[in-house]
Amino acid sequence: RVLAVAAAEQPRVMVIDSIQTAYTELLQSAPGAVAQVRESAAQLVRFAKRSGTALFLVGHVTKEGTLAGPRVLEHMVDTVLYFEGDSGSRFRALRAVKNRFGPVNELGVFAMTETGLKEVTNPSAIFLSRHPEPVAGSVVMVTREGTRPLLVEVQALVDDCHGGNPRRVTLGLEQNRLAMLLAVLHRHAGIAMFDQDVYVNVVGGVRVQETASDLAVLMAALSSFRDRPLPNDLIVFGEVGLAGEIRPVPNGEERLREAAKHGFRRAIVPKANVPRGRLPEGFSVQAVERLAEALAEV
């Protein structure tokens, strides 16, 4: 019936909400079953390609955030978009996890208002708390979501361990990587935290999946450990290798431009990420090659 109406109306855009409730009488199984979802999606996709209609298939997700039902649905379509949002927040993120004709890992941020969704043109402002005065254990880094540079605050809390095993807890970062970075800090900077609990959090619920956060995590942890705040106008990013070297990250110049746009005036970055062109007025970049150099700067 849906295809008959679509063939008569010839829409430019068609939304099926949801694919788990669509079914075809060619099959005996109930709506939402694997065979029904696969066959219904296949018929709809064939219609879309034949008629040139832009087709949106809305699918339910489980509590874990994965697609409910068969993953084959993701293989049949050109693009998979996740519409995510914390129930306690008014912000919603539209994230591309598959894109056959463009870049993946793009991010769109929207605010839910009384009149509906509004685009957030400057998402970095959401994730920066901008303390009125410097606080220990906090540092700002520039991550990338798709092609968009995004400023996020990394916070660390280092406290005496009162049990047998010190805890390594991360929110928004990979936990095993924190343990590895603390080992590098001990080996190449002589700073031991084996008797300390270390908690690291990325403010705002952002998930940072790239290694550019390495240097920021170590700076935040050391700042909390020493109880010495870092400057408010400092930005940090860079990958830390097991040999104690600071490795460059992609699109360093774009990250620095985004930081300057938000009022930051100092940056500690890998040497290979220092821009060759002119920097914004009043913005200084300190290039580092080794972890010890980076720590000496602060």
The token pair that represents 250 in the structure block: 């992609």
- pLDDT score at 218: 96
For the ranges 54-63, 120-129, 190-199, the lowest mean pLDDT is seen at 120-129
- pLDDT score at 243: 95
Mention the CATH class of domain 2-119: alpha beta
Average pLDDT over residues 15-21: 91
CATH 3.40.50.300 placement within the chain: 2-119
More confident residue, 245 or 147: 245
The C-alpha atoms of residue 249 and residue 45 are separated, in whole angstroms, by 39
Which pTM was predicted? Answer: 0.70
- pLDDT score at 103: 78
69, pLDDT greater than 70: no
Average pLDDT over residues 9-37: 90
Average pLDDT over residues 147-167: 89
68, pLDDT greater than 60: no
173, pLDDT greater than 60: yes
More confident residue, 85 or 248: 248
What number does CATH give the domain 126-297? 3.30.230.10
For the chain, state the CA radius of gyration.
Answer: 24
CATH 3.30.230.10 placement within the chain: 126-297
Element (H, E) at 43: helix 34-51
Average pLDDT over residues 205-234: 92
- pLDDT score at 66: 61
- pLDDT score at 287: 94
Percent of the chain with pLDDT over 90: 56
